[in-house]
Homo-oligomer: A and B are copies of this chain.
Amino acid sequence: MTQTAETFSIRQMCDAFDVTARTLRFYESKELLFPIREGTSRHFTKQDRARLTLILRGKRFGFSLEDIRQLLEMYNRDGSNEAQLTRTYLIAQDRLSQMQAQRAELDEAIADLKTQLVEGEKRLAQFARSARTAAE
């Protein structure tokens, strides 16, 4: 039993998420992933896959791995301790407002960029006109 249907090997993870093995080992060393260690090799569970999805997503929004690690704590059954749970709850609330702010900003940025694209189109059209004129 080198792998069940439930777990992924490191290669399968690499293929599924388009990351290198080094990255997965690195994330494990940073306590972002917790694959089962059977003998020498790693077996990544469904939980690890969910975590990795969140990690990669977080990265796309500019969060550091340490930020993400703290967020992931809340996705754990770690709430044994009330103080701990309260703390991570507050962190998550904070993160939520950050993301909502980011969303507003993203909308703004998209609008800006669209405006710029229209500008670019106008200028490209100008080039097209000059070319036509030159041809006559």
- What is the size category of the interface that chain A forms with chain B? 35 or more
Chain A contact residues, majority secondary structure: helix
Shortest distance from the beta carbon of A114 to any chain B beta carbon, whole Å: 7
Task: Encode A47-75 as 1/0 by CB contact (under 8 A) with B.
Answer: 00000001001011110000000000011
Residue contact B113 to A92, C-beta cutoff 8 Å: yes
CA distance A113 to B67 in the complex (A): 14
Chain multiplicity (copies): 2
Q: A74-B116, A93-B117, A117-B96 are in contact. Are A60 and B124 (CB under 8 A)?
A: no
Closest chain B residue, CB of each to CB of A127: B82
22 A-B contact pairs sorted by A residue (CB < 8 Å): A59-B62, A60-B62, A61-B61, A61-B62, A61-B106, A61-B109, A62-B62, A74-B116, A75-B116, A79-B123, A85-B120, A85-B124, A86-B124, A89-B124, A92-B120, A96-B110, A96-B117, A99-B110, A99-B113, A100-B110, A103-B106, A106-B106
List 8 tightest A-B contacts by C-beta distance, closest first: A62-B62, A89-B120, A82-B127, A96-B113, A79-B123, A99-B110, A103-B106, A57-B109
